[in-house]
Structures are given as C-alpha cells and as structure tokens.
C-alpha cells in the first residue's frame, strides 16, 4: 500500500505564491459552494411557491366542472371526488345540491360521460339522501361504469329506495355489476335481499360468490359457509385469483380475499370455521392473514365462552 505524498514545503522563492490547496479546500470550492448556491435557489423557489400556492377546495373543482375545457372537466370531477374528507354535514348538503344542479345539465358528449361517472362518485361520497333519485336514474345509464358507480353510491348512502335498482343490477349478464350488487345488497339492511344473495353465492364467477357469501354472513345467514371455506383456502384462492383477477404489484389479492373471509367468519361466529381460522393464525404465509385470523379467533373465543356460561 502506497502512502499519499505530502505537499512539499514552500521555498523562499515561493514565499509570495499561493499555497497549494488540499483536498478539503478543493471540495469546498468546487462542490460545496455550488451546492449551497443551488440549495438556496431551490429554497427561495419553494418559499415563493408556497406563498403563492392557491389552495383549492371542492367548490373550486365544481366550478371547473361547470366551465373548464373538455379534458379538464372530467379531471376536475375526479379531483372533486377525492377532496370531500373534511366537510361538515351542512357543507355536504350544500355541495350535494350544487353537484346535482351541475349533474342535471350534462348531455351525451364524450366528456359529459366521463364527468357523469365521477359526479356519481361524488354524490355517493357526500352521502346525502337527496341524491338517491338521480343515482337510481344513473344506474340505468348507457355507460357501464356509470351504472356500476351508481349502484355503489346507493349502497354508500344506504338508500332503501334503491333496493329494487340494486336487485335488478344483480340479475344482469355483467359479472362486475353482479359483484357490486352482491356487495351492496349486503350493505343495505333489507331482508328481501337474502333469497337473491343465496343465488349469487352459487354464481359461476368467484368474485360474485365471495361477495354474496360475505353479505349473507353480515345478515347472520350461514348459507354462504361453504363459499367462506373456499375463501380461507389459500391454494384455491390463488388458483382462482390467477384466473379471474388482474394482478397488481402493490396489492396482495389473495390475502385480501382471505381476510374478507376471516372477517365474515368472525361476524357469523360459525363453529365449523374455527379450526380453519386457528390453522391460518399459526401457519399462513401472510402476516396480514395471520393477524386477521387472530382477530377472528378473539371474536369466536368470546362467543364460545358465552355458550358455556
């Protein structure tokens, strides 16, 4: 290993020449100083940007839906649907009325179709019952996504008046519509849904069966237990998800199905599912599934203690 040569001492002849700079001084001159200058410039830009930033609220987006360009209108409607978190009850009611007025002006232009989709989501997330008549009509729209969002919105609001519309949606040839309808029929507190959910629990599409079984469990019905057992079978779910569900790298669709089944098992408190739940809590490959199984066991254990007391 060689040693780095030291800088020679200056001679008398070099007394008035500049002393050679070391590595630290070179770094400071050629790297740190420009970095500080750039950092200061970026800091000034960020401060100026923060001072001049226009904070936009739901009404700003709604105004853009009214008068923006064709491409911007549907984007504003989408952003509106995501900006409703901190509104009071009164603000939600007022915004719902304004949204309905805009919704009623929409025609059949391509950009109107996109705007309508997202305004339906807005109406559902606002949760105001005054939107139910418009949502019932939206559930019969030509656009399949609008119909799907409208059924979801009726379930989100919990509108009894929308039951017949959701029931009709559950009878279509569109598997996505049946899947959503099965979920919403479980969310609506109408016992008339039970016969249809029993049929949907035998649907040819796994997603529809799963939603129907969970919905039946929420209503205290054990008809979907055979389907719940399938939902708790990792190998079965993995094969089915691979065949029917689009994979997403940021999600674990297999675990999502199993966790839904575990939560339904806990709600239903079915003793036939206890052994499977206990096995999953000890040996499943997913930490999320094991945690959900442990939570289900707590509920099932509490139920068992009540039976013996």
Exposure string (b/e) for 1-35, b if CB count within 10 Å is 16 or more? Answer: eeeeeeeeeeeeeeeeeeeeeeeeeeeeeeeeeee
Contact 245, 211 (CB under 8 A): no
Using DSSP's 3-state secondary structure scheme, residue 36 falls into: helix
pLDDT of residue 29: 55
Which is more confidently placed, 110 or 216?
216
Phi, psi angle pair for 39, to nearest 5°? -60, -40
158-201, pLDDT tens digit by residue? 989 999 999 999 999 999 999 999 999 999 989 999 999 999 99
Burial pattern 133-150, b for ≥16 Cβ within 10 A else e, equals: ebbbebbebebeebbbbb
pLDDT for residue 70: 86
What DSSP designation does 30 have? I
**Range with the lowest mean pLDDT among 4-18, 27-41, 216-230, 255-269?**
4-18
Kindly report the length of the chain. 309
Q: Is the separation of the CB atoms in 231 and 210 below 8 Å?
A: yes
Per-residue pLDDT reduced to its tens digit, 209-259 = 999 999 999 999 999 999 999 999 999 999 998 755 455 556 789 999 999
- Rounded to an integer, the average pLDDT of 47-70 is 74
Q: Which is higher by pLDDT, 12 or 30?
A: 30
Averaged pLDDT of the chain: 83
The confidence score (pLDDT) of residue 40 equals: 63
For the stretch 114-149, pLDDT in tens is: 999 999 999 999 999 999 999 999 999 999 999 999
Task: Give the C-alpha separation, 258 to 231, whole Å.
Answer: 5
The answer, yes or no, to whether residue 103 has pLDDT greater than 90, is yes
pTM of the model: 0.76
């Amino acid at each position: 290993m060689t040693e780095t040569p030291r800088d020679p001492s200056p001679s008398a002849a070099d007394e008035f020449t500049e002393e050679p700079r070391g590595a630290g001084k070179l770094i400071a001159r050629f790297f740190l100083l420009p970095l500080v200058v750039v950092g200061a410039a970026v800091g000034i830009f960020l401060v100026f940007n923060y001072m001049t930033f226009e904070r936009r609220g739901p009404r700003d987006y709604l105004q853009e839906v009214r008068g923006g360009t064709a491409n911007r209108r549907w984007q504003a409607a989408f952003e509106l649907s995501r900006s409703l978190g901190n509104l009071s009850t009164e603000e939600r009611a007022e915004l719902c009325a304004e949204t309905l007025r805009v919704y009623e002006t929409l025609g059949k232009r391509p950009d109107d179709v996109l705007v309508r989709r997202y305004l339906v989501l807005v109406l559902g997330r606002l949760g105001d019952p005054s939107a139910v008549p418009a949502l019932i009509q939206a559930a019969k729209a030509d656009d399949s996504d609008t119909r799907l969002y409208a059924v979801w919105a009726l379930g989100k609001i919990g509108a009894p008046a929308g039951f017949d519309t959701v029931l009709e949606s559950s009878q279509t040839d569109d598997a996505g519509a049946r899947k959503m309808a099965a979920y919403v029929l479980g969310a609506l507190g109408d016992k008339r849904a039970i016969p249809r959910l029993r049929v949907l629990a035998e649907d040819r599409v796994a997603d529809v069966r799963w939603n129907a079984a969970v919905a039946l469990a929420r209503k205290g019905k054990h008809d979907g237990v055979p389907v719940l057992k399938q939902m708790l079978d990792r190998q079965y779910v993995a094969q089915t998800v691979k065949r029917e569900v689009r994979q997403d790298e940021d999600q674990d669709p297999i675990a999502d199905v199993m966790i839904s089944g575990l939560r339904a098992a806990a709600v239903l408190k079915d003793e036939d599912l206890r052994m499977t739940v206990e096995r999953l809590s000890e040996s499943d490959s997913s930490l999320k599934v094991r945690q959900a199984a442990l939570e289900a066991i707590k509920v099932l254990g509490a139920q068992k203690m009540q039976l013996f007391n």
